[in-house]
Each structure stands twice: as C-alpha cells, then as structure tokens.
C-alpha cells in the first residue's frame, strides 16, 4: 500500500470510528438528565416515591381558593382562572401529558411517557422523540408526530407565555417514520431546551381548531391523560373521572400515580372557607391555600377541632430537600417609586423577621435571603469563585461587597427585632437616593410624601404586611393594605397593576433552575402581560447570568452561573423574601395513605391513594 492509499485508508477508519461513536452516543435512551446520566436504569419499574401496588379506586376531593372560567390552560385569556387539574403542578396533569415525565427524586431527570425514548447528539443540537405506539387520546385516536407538530405551530401563534415563545428556538420539526418526531434547534437554543420540549404538554390536532384556540372554553377538552372531565360547574367545581381505557397505566413513569376513580376540585372564596370545609370533611387534604405546606403556628392554633383530636385528621411533616420557594413582598419596579435599588434595599432592611419569627411562628422558621437557600447553588456564605468573578466582571458595580464575599445575611436567624442602627442605615440609603425626612414624613426626591399600597389575599399575609407597615411608619412611610379576592389579585398580577404584593417565585424551589428563570427574571418577560416576572426585572446582568446558566456544559460552570445570578438578584432587592421551614406540613383525613418514600420536595399528592374499605 502506497503512502496516498495509506492516508485514505486511515481517514476512512477514522470516519468509521467517529461514526460508530456518534451512533452509540445518539442511540435511543429511556431517559435524560440535565447533567450526567439519569439515575434510574432502562428497566426501572416505577419512580422511587410511588407505590406500584397502590390500590386503585375511591375518590378524593381537593379544595382550592379562587374561581375558574376556562378549561384550556395554554391561553392568555383567563390564564389565571383556568380550572385546576387539567395540567397541575400540585394535583398532577390529569388531562394533558408531555413527551417525557420528570422524576421528583432527582434534580432534573426525565423518563418516557408519550415518547418511549429520546435521541440527542452530544451538543444537543437536535432531539428526536420516539412516540410510544400505544399512546392514545381519550377518544381512542393514536397520538402521532402530527399532533406534536400541531402543538408547537398552534402554541406559537395562539398560546400564552412561555408556550408561545418556544418555536423561537426551533429551526424545524420533522416526522421520522411512523412514530418519530425530530426537533432541530437553532442558535438561540441552549442545553436545557430539549428537556423543556420533552416536558411541554401535547394537544390533539383533531380536537382543536387553530383559529379559535386562544378563546376560553368550558367544553371538556380531549387529552391523553388518565382522567376525563366529567362535570363542570363554572367557578365552583370540576370533576374528573378515571378513563377506563387510559393507555399509560403500565408505563413505568406513571405506575403508582393517580390512583382514584374520581377527583373533585371544589372552589372557595377564601382560605378561611377552604379550611372550614376541610374541618367538616368536605376536603380530603389541606396544606394551606396553595398546598405548599402549613406553618406550625396554624397547626398549633387551628387544629383543635374534634376530628384532629380523635385521629380522624392526621397532621404530618415531610422533609423538603430542595431550596424553599422564595415568597415575599414583590416590588413593582416598573413604577418610578421603586426604580432605584437603593430604595428597595432600604425598605428590605425593615422587614422585621426577628419579631415575626418569635411572635407569629414560635421561633421555628429561618429567614430566606437566597433564591437557592441551603444548597450549593446559593451565594450565601460562599465568596465568589474565579468563575463567578469572571461572569460578574461587567456588573460588579451592582453587587455590594458583602454579597460578593459571602458575608451578606450572616447570622440573620440570630438577630432580634429591628434595631435603631438598622433603621438608621435604611434612612441613610434613602437619603443617598434623594429622600428626606421632614416633620416625621419621608419625602421622595420630588418633595412628595412617600408611600405605597400592599395587596394581600389572606389573613396570614395581612399579619405579615401589618408588621412591615408598622416598621415602615417609623420612618414616616405611609403604607396602606388592600385585601382582594383571588380573581382580583390574579387580574392585578396579570396586568402588573400594583405597587407591592405578597407572592411566591414558584410553587416550589428547585435544585435545577433553568429556562423558567427567563420567565421569572428576564428582561423580555418584564414587558409581556401575564408573565411571572412580577417584579419587572429588566437587568442585562441578570439576562447574561441566565444565559450562562442555560449554556453551561459542566457542573462547575453551571453552579458558578447560578450563584452569580443569585448575587445579582439579592443585590437588586426585587423581592423582600420572608421565611421558610424545611419541614413541609400536610393535614389529611385518615382514609388517605401515602408511600413511605418521599420526593425531594417532601410530598406528591398524585402518588397517594385511598385505603380500601
């Protein structure tokens, strides 16, 4: 063999080797993780926090606060008054399903549902989902690649954020054979986006009209999930019944979930009415108005009714192993009065956690200061690494020294009530921003008395807001409180019609923050009606950190980007975080049972069941 032939032969062998490696890397997989490999093997039989032998049958009633006038959860119109359960982070997705399903025992890993496998290249420039041939809609028609394509085309034109923006990262969607659908991503995509696609609910092309998709409806919708919509009483009640022909009963990611024959969701005007209904046995479980957990003070004060004392009602704590959901007072920074971060920082110093923890929560809570508190993703207690400093270099003037060196919030749980020194520091910050205290009244830079309104929706929020109001009055700040019902507050949120309100960043915290952070903190989301960027954050540094997080190729880079984002959010003081507990308390009637193993977030109601009679 001459030299030229040897070179050609070597090149052939190299190409063949690379082709073989690529084929091995891109072969169909049963699951996918954001980083590394999914924890469960290909032959797994069920998620760790589900009981595959849970008895099926009986019924359950959930009770929620609010109202509803729509059964389509994907549209802007009535987006915050869509019936619970159709897709639901608390009760499970009863009607619509996604290509893959998240395992809540891992930070961010997905396993097959509508799609039995996924194929991706190492750079995640494409993702091919191979649909389960058994997947069917509730009317018996098969789930096809055409349904997936229809979903994205319809969402792009007619859906609400974030569904409406997903096509912006997709170059093309193609059918591959009878059951495959391949997404090719463009240069706006990132490493997390294929997982976002995998989690996007799929709708049936034959059951929706693209032209009228953005209109609210109370007509029961067709989905692929385990339940059918059986009864609708607008604003009061929605009832789901098990689909006896549900296709996914034996899919491993669904085994042990949704064990009831009938699920009723009752609506109440406020939290007090909801709790009274639970006490009477009308509701099967109660974990606060938003089902994120009870506080110990509520348990000590309100659980002295007969059923709780004789054991018919059980109160149990579950340990959460994820960062707490950040809840607190959201500034609307779209309004001039809160545009200056110095003003927001000053007011944040006047949240009297020490008094509240002692007098409201019996000293059982911790102060929330980080958006990923208690995890390696948090900036608290950790000096910025070299990677973080490199990311933050263009924005260092926005980050106070104590936030950079990790001393911010040190020993905050040990501090008592607000001191004179803290009040003085807050006033100094306000004066730096052009405010002045004149005759006991704080005046803004234009000489007008400074004040604002806090919107509240519950007695608990009113207690917290009243304590905050009292502290602010010491600096001559006039704060008023306005109680609204759920429908009113949702409308105000959707149109950003508020000075300040008490809300939550999300239903739960996460060990794997991702694309949802764009909707919560991204500059573009601040301009879009109905987004979750309630504070109106429009900060180039925040956008840059989110981008770095989404495009990180290794764990070290990812952690650095999230910590850098945490430092910027803390420094911007867009929210006054309140408090948290790692114990998640749930109350329920003793005819319910739950698995012995819990997910990272403490509990999953969709894995519970009713004891056989």
- Cα-based distances in Å from 491 to 78, 161, 488, 575: 9, 16, 5, 20
Does residue 560 sit within a domain? yes
* Tokens standing for residue 402: 């104590």
Does residue 256 sit within a domain? no
| Residue 21 in this model has a pLDDT that exceeds 50 | no
Does residue 497 sit within a domain? yes
**Higher confidence at residue 8 or residue 590?**
590
Does residue 107 sit within a domain? no
Does residue 403 sit within a domain? yes
**pTM to 2 decimals?**
0.79
Among candidate residues 559, 613, 567, 570, the one with its CA nearest the CA of residue 591: 613
Q: How confident is the model at residue 507 (pLDDT cuts 50, 70, 90)?
A: low
Does residue 498 sit within a domain? yes
Give dist(CA 474, CA 451) in Å, integer. Answer: 13
Residue length of the chain: 613
Residue 550: partners with Cβ closer than 8 Å, 6 or more residues away: 190, 191, 192, 193, 514, 515
Residues 223-245: tens digit of each pLDDT: 999 999 999 999 999 999 999 99
What is the pLDDT averaged over residues 157-169?
92
The answer to whether the beta carbons of residues 370 and 363 sit under 8 Å apart is no
Among candidate residues 285, 275, 264, the one with its CA nearest the CA of residue 588: 285
| Residue 350 in this model has a pLDDT that exceeds 50 | yes
Structural domain including 353 reads 335-429+481-580
For residues 407, 412, 417, 421, the Cα torsion angle rounded to the nearest 10 degrees is 0
Least confident of 296-300, 309-313, 579-583: 296-300
Among candidate residues 581, 80, 571, the one with its CA nearest the CA of residue 348: 571
Residues 26-68: tens digit of each pLDDT: 799 999 999 889 999 999 999 999 999 999 999 999 999 989 9
Give dist(CA 194, CA 207) in Å, integer. Answer: 26
DSSP state letter for 70: B
At residue 37, the 3 state secondary structure works out as coil
**Higher confidence at residue 367 or residue 460?**
367
DSSP lists the bridge partners of residue 609 as 593
What is the pLDDT averaged over residues 269-278?
93
How many secondary structure helices (H) and strands (E) does the chain include? 16, 25
Residue 216: partners with Cβ closer than 8 Å, 6 or more residues away: 69, 70, 72, 75, 77, 78
Among candidate residues 307, 316, 256, 309, the one with its CA nearest the CA of residue 283: 307
| Residue 199 in this model has a pLDDT that exceeds 60 | yes
Q: Mean pLDDT of all residues in the chain?
A: 92
* Tokens standing for residue 108: 């961010």
The answer to whether the beta carbons of residues 573 and 338 sit under 8 Å apart is no
What is the pLDDT averaged over residues 529-552?
94
CA count, 13 A, side-chain hemisphere, 379: 31
- Cα-based distances in Å from 197 to 38, 201, 414: 17, 9, 44
| Residue 144 in this model has a pLDDT that exceeds 50 | yes
Does residue 106 sit within a domain? no
Give dist(CA 280, CA 306) in Å, integer. Answer: 10
Residue 370: count other Cβ atoms within 10 Å of its Cβ. 24
Q: How confident is the model at residue 371 (pLDDT cuts 50, 70, 90)?
A: very high
Dihedral sign computed on CA atoms, order 189, 191, 192, 198: positive
Does residue 343 sit within a domain? yes
User: What is the number of domains present in the chain?
Assistant: 1
Q: What is the pLDDT of residue 485?
A: 83
Q: What is the pLDDT of residue 253?
A: 98
* CATH number of the CATH domain containing 522: 3.10.105.10
């Amino acid at each position: 063999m001459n030299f030229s032939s040897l070179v050609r032969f070597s090149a052939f062998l190299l190409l063949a080797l690379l082709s073989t490696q690529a084929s091995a890397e891109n072969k169909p997989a049963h699951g996918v993780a954001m980083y590394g490999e999914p924890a469960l093997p290909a032959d797994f039989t069920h998620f760790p926090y589900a009981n595959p032998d849970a008895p099926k049958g009986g019924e359950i009633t959930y009770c929620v606060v609010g109202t509803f006038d729509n059964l389509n959860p994907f549209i802007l119109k009535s987006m915050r008054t869509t019936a619970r359960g159709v897709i639901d982070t608390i009760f499970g997705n009863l009607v619509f399903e996604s290509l893959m399903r998240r395992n809540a025992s891992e930070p961010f890993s997905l396993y097959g549902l509508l799609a039995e496998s996924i194929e991706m290249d190492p750079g995640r420039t494409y993702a091919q989902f191979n649909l389960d041939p058994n997947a069917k809609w509730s009317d018996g028609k098969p789930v096809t690649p055409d349904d997936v394509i229809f979903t994205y085309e319809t969402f792009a034109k007619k859906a609400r954020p974030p569904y409406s923006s997903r096509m912006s990262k997709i170059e093309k969607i193609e059918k591959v054979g009878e059951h495959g659908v391949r997404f090719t991503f463009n240069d706006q995509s990132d490493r997390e986006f294929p997982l976002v696609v995998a989690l996007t609910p799929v709708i049936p092309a034959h059951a929706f009209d693209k032209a009228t998709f953005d209109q609210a409806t109370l007509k029961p919708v067709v989905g692929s999930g385990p339940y059918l919509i059986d009864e609708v009483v607008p604003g009061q009640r929605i009832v789901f019944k098990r689909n006896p022909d549900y296709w996914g009963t034996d899919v491993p990611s669904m085994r042990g979930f949704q064990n009831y024959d009938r699920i009723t969701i009752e609506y109440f005007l406020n939290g007090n009415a909801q709790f009274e209904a639970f006490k009477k046995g009308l509701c099967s479980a109660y974990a606060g108005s938003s089902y994120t957990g009870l506080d110990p003070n509520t348990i000590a004060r309100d659980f002295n009714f007969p059923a709780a004392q004789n054991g018919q009602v059980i109160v149990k704590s579950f340990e959460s192993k994820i960062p707490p959901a950040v809840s607190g007072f959201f500034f609307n920074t779209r309004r001039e009065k809160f545009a200056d971060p110095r003003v927001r920082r000053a007011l944040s110093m006047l949240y009297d956690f020490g008094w509240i923890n002692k007098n409201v929560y019996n000293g059982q809570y911790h102060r929330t200061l980080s958006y990923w508190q208690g995890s390696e993703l948090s900036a608290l207690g950790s000096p910025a690494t070299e990677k973080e400093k490199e990311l933050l270099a263009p924005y260092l003037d926005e980050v106070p020294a104590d936030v950079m060196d990790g001393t911010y919030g040190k020993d905050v749980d040990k501090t008592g009530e607000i001191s004179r020194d803290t009040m003085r520091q807050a006033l100094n910050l306000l004066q730096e921003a052009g405010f002045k205290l004149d005759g006991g009244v704080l005046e803004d830079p234009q000489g007008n008395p400074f004040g604002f309104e806090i919107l509240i929706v519950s007695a608990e929020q009113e207690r917290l807001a009243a304590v905050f109001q009292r502290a602010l009055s010491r600096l001559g700040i006039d704060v008023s409180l306005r109680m609204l019902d759920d429908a009113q507050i949702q409308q105000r949120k959707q149109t950003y019609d508020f000075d300040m309100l008490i809300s939550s960043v999300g239903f739960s915290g996460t060990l794997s923050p991702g694309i949802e952070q764009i909707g919560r903190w991204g500059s573009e989301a601040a301009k879009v009606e109905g987004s979750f960027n309630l504070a109106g954050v429009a900060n180039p540094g925040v956008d840059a950190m989110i981008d770095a997080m989404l495009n990180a190729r290794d764990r070290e880079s990812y952690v650095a980007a999230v910590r850098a984002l945490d430092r910027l959010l803390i420094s911007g003081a867009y929210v006054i975080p309140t408090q948290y507990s790692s114990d998640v308390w749930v109350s329920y009637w003793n005819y319910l049972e739950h698995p012995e193993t819990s997910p990272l977030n403490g509990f999953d109601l969709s894995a519970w069941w009713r004891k056989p009679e």
